[in-house]
Each structure stands twice: as structure tokens, then as C-alpha cells.
Amino acid sequence: MKDGVLQQPSSGTEAGRAGWPGLPCRADHPDPFQVSFHLVDGFSMMALSAAIEPLRAANRLLGRTGYAWTLAAERAGAAMASNGLEIKAGPGAGDGRDADLTVVVASLFPGDLDCPGLFARLRRLRSRGRAIGAISNGTMLLARAGVLRDSRVTIHWEMARQLQEAYPDLTVSDDLYCQDSGVLTAAGGTAAMDMMLSLIAQIDGGDLALDVARQFLHGPIRPASDTQMEDLRWRFRITDRRLLNAVELMRRNLSSPARIGWIAEQAGVSERQLERLFLAELASLPSDFYMALRLRAAREMLLASSDPLELIAEQCGFSSAGHFSRSYKIQFGEPPSLTRRQRIRPDGGIMQADGGKP
């Protein structure tokens, strides 16, 4: 355990068993470890599958039921995933009260979503000392339920800024997954699998966790401290550490763009050296790359949020909506208003300007 984060489990039967305080090892918990997944309409099927499948595979390799799970929702019936598929779920209020771990799985949902049944259940579980968790944007719902206090958590990077601004007492990390004070959170997607593999290592040892990972051709289990934006290196095929540092500084300073000279200084090179690095590896001037990075972030916000254009422009470092719109059209060949009409609905499909589906 380091800074509230579970470290990479090593191989061996004792590996990983001291990683998450409050969660058992098999010697202390011979009964099946019970997980209740609470599904919120618009949840990610990928994230749910990545969380459940390691448990299923662990049972297969153990030759017995070491892990059990149930699916719950605000109301009994079918919960709809973001891809439009429905999954049968039981009532959240009466399901999983004695679960060892209750995990909220949520991805795309309205900004004003209220889940009184879920919130009451989470508060009750916390008052009983039960472990709770969230995958993807479910962390936002944990915060709204008032069960996080000043915890260290993670959330999908698209929602990180909103979570931190709405709940400044939280420590919102860009880790793949983390644990703090009995709260487990994963950023979503494949990070859910790494979190559950680490959980298996905690309970049944690192050997089983690695065997489960091999079942899914997963490779090494990623440590919690890996960041969500590790893709910078492979996304842009960057080989020079100084250039990678410069790009990371740009990514962290979107709303208040930093001077290229300052970025070069922080990366440990001269401004001219930085320019040569960008041209050699990215075929772009630093200033042009920085602008494209800000505009890509704006496009992601347009597609993933309902924030007004003026706010998105400000968050991406543009002093006026007009300047933003002109720059955006040059970059993408269409105005931001047209991109906004393609915003994805929580239940799959595309949101039209009038709120309907095509």
C-alpha cells in the first residue's frame, strides 16, 4: 500500500493479501465473497463485463464458488446499458444488504440524476462498515450520496474535472483504480478488470489473479497507480521523455494555456530544442500541437457533456466563443454546434438538436 493505492501484486500464494485493509483474505473468509453491482441506466457494458468476468473465471479455476454476484437497480426490472442492450436486475433496496462489496456501475447519465433508493442504500452500507465502490462515473453518484467525505478516488477522465469542482474536499486522482477507507473506485473500461484482479489477489493470492488474467489474454496486472493518460506515449508514438513531459504539461494546462517557453524550461530543454523535438517526432510546431490538443479536448466535451459552448471554450483556454468556433471549424471542418448535435444519448444512439433520436 502506498499513498492509499494498491500496488502491483507479485506472483506467489501470499501476494496481494495485505493490499486492501478492510477486505478479507480467504483464510478469514471461507464463504463466497459477495459482490452486488448496482446498475444505473446508461452504464457501460464493457465496464460491467470487465468487473464480473474475472470473478467467473476465478470460480472456474478454483473449482468452486469463491465469488458470487448479483445485479441490482433503482427499480427491479431491466437496466439499459449505454449500447442499448438491457440486463435483468433486481431491486437495489432489497438486494445485496449483506454483500461484502457493493459497486455502483454508471457511465452516461443525466447531470441532475437523482437515485434516492441507491443513495439511502449506500449510506446504510457505510454506516454498517461495508465496503462500497464505483466503476467509471459511478464515483460521482457516491459523492452525491455523501459517502466519500475526503476520500481519494478516481473516475473516468471525462468527469474528473466536474467531480473535483463539485466536491473540492475529495482527492480526485487520474489513477486507473484506487482504494481509500473502504471505498474502491475504478476509472471504467478495462481498469475495472485490473481492479477486480487485484481484489482476487487480495483474497486468494497473486497466483490465482495472474491465472485469471491469462484467461483473458490480459498480460501483467496493471498497478493502481498507472494513470489513465498513459496512452500519451503510444497514442502519439513519443519516444523522447522530454517531449512526453512537454505534452503532459500541455494536457494539464488546457484552460489556462502555458507559454511554450515555460513548457520548454519545465521539460529541461530550450525553446528551440523543444521545437526540434516536436518537428522530429510529431511533425508539428509546439504551438500548433497545443492548439490541436485543446480543440480535441473541446470536441470530447461537446460529445460527452451538456455544458454550454461558452463554458467549453473557457475550459479549453479560449477567451471568446467566437475565437473558439473559428478555430474549431478550421480543425474539424464543422462548427461546434454541429458536433453538439451528435452528442451520444445515455441509452445509445445519437442525440439530435431537438433531443430526439434519428
Give yes or no: residues 164 and 256 share one domain: no
Q: Please give the distance of CA 47 from its chain centroid, rounded to a whole number.
A: 9
Q: Is the pLDDT of residue 173 over 80?
A: yes
Structure confidence at residue 42 (pLDDT): 92
Greater confidence (113 vs 339) lies with 339
151 and 80 both lie in a single domain: yes
- The pLDDT > 90 percentage for the chain reads 64
Query: Average pLDDT for residues 60-67, to the nearest whole number?
Result: 96
195 occurs within a structural domain: yes
> What's the average model confidence in pLDDT over 181-205?
94
pLDDT of residue 111: 74
Domain assignment of residue 3, yes or no: no
Confidence of residue 237 (pLDDT cuts 50, 70, 90): confident
Q: Which residue, 181, 215, 249, sits at the end of a domain?
A: 215
Q: Same domain for 105 and 45?
A: yes
Is the pLDDT higher at 278 or at 78? 278
Distance in angstroms (rounded) separating the CA atoms of residues 25 and 46: 27
Asked if residue 210 and residue 70 are part of one domain, the reply reads yes
Angle (CA) 110 112 114, round 5°: 100
Domain-embedded: residue 288: yes
Distance CA 318, CA 31 (A): 57
Closest CA to 153 of 191, 119, 202: 191
Task: Assess if residue 18 is contained within a domain.
Answer: no
In terms of pLDDT, which residue wins out, 176 or 109?
A: 176
Read off the pLDDT band of 284 (50, 70, 90).
very high
- What is the average pLDDT across 260-271? 97
- Shared domain for 59 and 164, answered yes or no, is yes
The answer to whether residues 191 and 243 belong to one domain is no
pLDDT number for residue 230: 61
Domain extent for 285: 231-340
Domain boundary among 187, 215, 243: 215
Domain count for the chain, please give it. Answer: 2
Q: Which amino acid is at 136?
A: S
CATH number of the domain at 243, please: 1.10.10.60
Report the alpha-carbon distance of residue 47 to residue 50 in Å, rounded: 5
One domain for residues 211 and 245:
no
Distance CA 302, CA 300 (A): 5
pLDDT at 201 (0 to 100): 94
Q: Report if residue 243 sits inside a domain.
A: yes
How are beta strands 33-39 and 183-186 bridged, if at all? unpaired
Question: Residue 307 falls within a domain, yes or no?
Answer: yes
The mean pLDDT of 190-210, rounded to a whole number, is: 95
Span of 3-12, 90-99, 180-189, 279-288 with lowest mean pLDDT: 3-12
> What CATH number is given to the structural domain containing 200?
3.40.50.880
**Per-residue pLDDT averaged across 224-229, rounded?**
77
Same domain for 251 and 196, yes or no, is: no
Q: Are residues 184 and 285 in the same domain?
A: no
**pLDDT at residue 3, rounded to an integer:** 35
Cell numbers for 323: 475565437
Residue 356 lies in a domain: no
Task: Give CA angle at 280 (274, 286), nearest 5°.
Answer: 40
How far is the C-alpha of 49 from the C-alpha of 69, rounded, in Å? 12
Return the amino acid letter for 164: Q
Note whether residue 12 is domain-resident.
no
85 and 187 fall within a common domain: yes
pLDDT band at 341 (very low <50, low <70, confident <90, very high): confident
pLDDT for 108 equals 79
Asked if residue 292 and residue 203 are part of one domain, the reply reads no
- Lowest-confidence range among 95-99, 251-255, 333-337? 95-99
Query: 305 falls in which pLDDT band (50, 70, 90)?
Result: confident
What's the pLDDT at 278?
A: 96
Residues 304 and 331 in one domain: yes
Average pLDDT, the chain: 85
- Which of 6-15, 75-84, 87-96 shows the lowest mean pLDDT across its residues? 6-15
Q: What is the mean pLDDT of residues 326-331?
A: 96
151: helix, coil or strand? coil
pLDDT at res. 68: 96
pLDDT above 70: residue 92: no
Q: Name the DSSP letter for residue 111.
A: T
Q: What SS3 class is residue 138? A: helix
